[in-house]
Amino acid sequence: MRICFILNPTSGTNRTQDVPALLTRYATAAGADFEIQLTQYAGHAEQLARQAAHQGFRVVVAVGGDGTVNEVARGLLGTSAALGIVPRGSGNGLARHLHIPLDLPGAVKRVCQPTFQRIDVGHINERPFFCTAGLGFDAHVSKMFARAGTRGLSTYVKVALREYRRYQAVPILVELNDQQIETNCYVLAFANAAQYGNNAYIAPRADIQDGLLDLCLIDGLSFPRAVRVGLGLALGTLPTSGGAVYHTSCHIRVHAARPLGFHVDGDYVTDGTDFEVKLDPLALEVAV
């Protein structure tokens, strides 16, 4: 079994480690037939992954954060290669959902001796996502976080608290399951997996293999509700907290009264007023 590690050298907060040397050590110890490729620019991981799949690698491993995982997984759609993950980011949402070890030795050992399963893949305006996508405040925070200059959970929390004071909900129309819902959007999350990352459970009942997305709608965020939502995210109790409303569907349309930002797997994409969200069941094989 041939394995290709695709490493984003800018991922994570600890950049003093010689990650290629560590990958080589642990993969060699596991008896793997492997190659290591380093990304050089945004979008490069997708190209490298597609090339590795066409070269016959059985497992193509994203070594990085959720953005790197998204890029590598995009490159593997429609191929016979499986996605592996060695988590090196600040959130690691998909890795956590799939119970992949967060330490480098454990993750490399797992990916060199994997079992295989298939997972659903979401698309928002034709952009694939594998963990979560969303409109509103979480996308806005992702945009601001990317500009913050530093990474990590503490930076994310600081940005979220700062922007909370400024952000206003936007009226939206949601179409799903043959019904229309007029509401406000502070957050509208589309969850394929249960969490954003860092064990922040936006949809703790989400099943990555059930052919459905779990929608989490928060129409406003007063301070008391913000406390409930924060505790619900941390404890995995958001569905019973009274802070959010949930739906499940495999096809959703959203129209916003004014432009809303959206993100895929934690990375801000752009603003828009019309969104179509679909699910492609069991469209990606993963090595876990």
pLDDT score of 145 = 83
The per-residue pLDDT for range 91-106, each reduced to its tens digit, is 899 999 999 999 999 9
Is residue 16 scored above 70 in pLDDT?
no
Structure tokens given for 25 = 């050590």
Mean pLDDT of 197-219: 97
Nearest to 155 by CA among 165, 166, 144, 164: 144
Nearest to 206 by CA among 197, 194, 196: 194
Q: What is the DSSP code string of 202-264?
A: S-TT--TTSS-EEEEEE----HHHHHHHHHHHHHT-GGGTTS-EEEEESEEEEEEEEEEEEEE
pLDDT score of 12 = 67
The amino acid that residue 18 corresponds to is D
Indicate the CATH number of 2-114 among 3.40.50.10330, 3.40.720.10, 3.40.1160.10, 3.20.140.10. 3.40.50.10330
Beta-bridge partner residues of 253: 175, 276
Q: How far is it, in rounded angstroms, from Cα 223 to Cα 229?
A: 10
pLDDT score of 47 = 98
Structure tokens given for 9 = 């050298």
Nearest to 86 by CA among 20, 142, 42, 166: 20
Local structure of 253: helix, strand or coil: strand
Is residue 5 scored above 80 in pLDDT?
yes
pLDDT score of 144 = 87
Q: Does domain 127-282 have CATH number 2.40.110.20?
A: no
* Confidence at 122, pLDDT banded by 50, 70, 90: very high
Q: Could you give the C-alpha distances from 221 to 105, 113, 231, 248, in angstroms and in order? A: 41, 45, 13, 22
Contact 251, 238 (CB under 8 A): no
283's CB contacts (< 8 A; 6+ apart) are 77, 118, 119, 120, 121
Rg of the chain in Å (alpha carbons): 19
β pairing state of 2-7 and 59-64: parallel
The per-residue pLDDT for range 105-120, each reduced to its tens digit, is 999 999 999 999 999 9
pLDDT score of 154 = 80
Is residue 142 scored above 70 in pLDDT?
yes
Extract long-range pairs of 138-145: CB within 8 Å, 24+ residues apart: 138/187, 138/189, 138/196, 138/263, 139/260, 139/261, 139/262, 139/263, 139/268, 139/269, 140/167, 140/261, 140/268, 142/261, 142/263, 142/266, 142/267, 142/268, 143/261, 143/263, 143/268
pTM of the model: 0.93
Task: Give residue limits of the domains in the chain.
Answer: 2-114, 127-282
Q: How far is it, in rounded angstroms, from Cα 40 to Cα 43?
A: 9
The per-residue pLDDT for range 55-89, each reduced to its tens digit, is 999 999 999 999 999 999 999 999 999 999 999 98
